[in-house]
């Protein structure tokens, strides 16, 4: 598989000759799904996994039933977790977790290769997302996959909140939104292929689910109702490069 390289079409990144093929490519790659954790479960089950950002910012997350790393550990054949939060890594190691203190935007090689790399809600926080993806790609076995989850900037809740409040702040530690078009370009710069991306819609327990189900029928091909985006990357097939 080979990623779309717009620079081979034109030097102008806003020309119609560039934007239309990118739009078509993203529509081809787009999928739909309802439950984030169920998707990750299927992605990691019986696989060797590198989990980036295991502490999830604050050690209080470790005690929550939604803590991502425990779900991965319970299903993966083997998992290594890394983070830059030393306090959290020390705590997890004391509890028997296989974790290491490591910067996933560095040039470090962990000395292991994995079938899956999970980057859960990390990319919007880092100074250099390209280096983050390169780090992940460095640790893949041939045929391995990278999963990147991130908030959706086009979600209806964000749009309405901006309309009502005049501006939107979702997390003080965010430095970017990674839209599908940006994800495609980040992959190209990191030497990876965006293989597909998924719209994570709200679960059935959501209070206004009936209305959202109706909207899904009307605008099913839209990112408007997805609270989160999941990007799946792979290394390009050498035969296609």
φ and ψ at residue 100, rounded to 5 degrees: -140, 150
pLDDT tens, position by position, 5-47: 888 888 888 899 888 999 999 999 998 876 666 778 899 999 9
pLDDT grade for 224, boundaries at 50, 70 and 90: confident
So what's the pLDDT on residue 159?
A: 84
pLDDT for res 168: 82
Token duo for residue 20 = 């239309």
Confidence of residue 239 (pLDDT cuts 50, 70, 90): very low
**DSSP state letters, 68-112:** HHHHHHHH-SEEEEEES-HHHHHHHHHTT--EEE--TTSS---S-
What mean pLDDT comes out for the span 179-199?
95
Separation of alpha carbons 234 and 28, rounded Å: 16
Mean pLDDT to the nearest integer, 162-188: 90
User: Residue 206 above 50 pLDDT?
Assistant: no
pLDDT digits (tens, 9 = 90+) for 54-100: 997 777 777 777 788 999 999 999 999 999 999 999 999 999 999 99
Local confidence band at 207 (pLDDT 50, 70, 90 cut-offs)? very low
Q: Which residue has the higher pLDDT, 66 or 178?
A: 178
- Convert the pLDDT of each residue in 108-159 to its tens digit: 999 999 999 999 999 999 999 999 999 999 999 999 999 999 999 888 888 8
Domain 6-234, CATH among 3.40.50.150, 3.40.1190.20, 2.170.150.70, 3.90.76.10 = 3.40.50.150
Residue 76 half-sphere exposure toward CB, CA atoms < 13 A: 24
Q: Tell me which of 210 and 19 has the higher pLDDT.
A: 19
Enter the tokens of residue 222. Answer: 């839209």
**Can you tell me whether residue 13 is helix, strand or coil?**
coil
The answer to whether 81 and 54 are in contact (CB under 8 A) is: yes
Model confidence at 190: pLDDT above 70: yes
Each domain of the chain, given as residue ranges in start order, spans 6-234
């Amino acid at each position: 598989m080979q990623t779309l390289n717009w620079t081979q079409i034109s030097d102008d990144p806003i020309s119609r000759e560039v934007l239309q093929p990118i739009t078509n490519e993203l529509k081809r790659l787009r999928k739909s799904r309802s439950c984030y954790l169920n998707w990750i479960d299927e992605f990691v089950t019986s696989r060797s996994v590198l989990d980036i950002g295991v502490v999830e910012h604050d050690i209080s997350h470790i005690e929550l039933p939604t803590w991502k790393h425990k779900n991965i550990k319970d299903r993966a054949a083997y998992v290594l977790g890394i983070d830059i939060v030393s306090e959290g890594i020390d705590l997890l190691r004391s509890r028997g977790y296989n974790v290491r203190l490591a910067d996933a935007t560095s040039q470090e090689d962990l000395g292991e290769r994995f079938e899956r790399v999970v980057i859960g809600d990390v990319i919007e926080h880092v100074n250099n997302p390209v280096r983050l993806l390169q780090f992940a790609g460095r640790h893949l076995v041939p045929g391995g996959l990278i999963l990147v989850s991130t908030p959706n900037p086009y979600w209806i809740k964000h749009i309405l909140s901006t309309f009502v409040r005049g501006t939107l702040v979702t997390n003080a530690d965010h430095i970017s939104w990674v839209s599908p078009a940006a994800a495609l370009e980040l992959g190209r710069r990191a030497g990876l292929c965006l293989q597909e991306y998924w719209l994570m819609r709200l679960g059935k327990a959501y209070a206004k689910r009936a209305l959202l189900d109706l909207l899904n029928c009307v605008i099913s091909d839209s990112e408007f109702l997805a609270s989160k985006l999941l990007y799946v990357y792979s290394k390009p097939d050498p035969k296609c490069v």
